[in-house]
Amino acid sequence: VKPDLLISRQGVKLKFNDFQQTTQEHVWPQLNKEDLITTARKTWDERRGERGVRLVGLHVTLLDPQLERQLVLGL
């Protein structure tokens, strides 16, 4: 990820062998590998139970720079 990109959220998705899924997201202003790994481990430990996991997904949502510019009001 380029350092000038604005991060909105980072998260983890687990898809289980019973076709259920769970997602955990956090709001962080910048990409943080340690926090993403901590979230992944916590989600794995708390939500997996005895189920097998068929997919682990990590995702980052970027802020739209146009949206950021539209929020600035010249009062």
Distance CA 63, CA 75 (A): 24
Domain that holds residue 20: 7-70
**Is residue 1 in some structural domain?**
no
Domain-embedded: residue 58 = yes
Can you tell me the distance from the alpha carbon of 44 to that of 32, in angstroms, rounded to the nearest whole number?
A: 19
Domain presence at residue 25: yes
Q: CATH no. for residue 15?
A: 3.30.1490.100
Residue 2 lies in a domain: no
Interatomic CA distance for residues 40 and 66, integer angstroms: 30
Q: Is residue 44 part of a domain?
A: yes
Total tally of structural domains belonging to the chain: 1
Q: What is the pLDDT of residues 25-47, one digit of tens each?
A: 988 777 778 888 999 999 999 99
Please give the model's pTM, rounded to 2 decimal places: 0.70
Query: Higher confidence at residue 34 or residue 20?
Result: 20
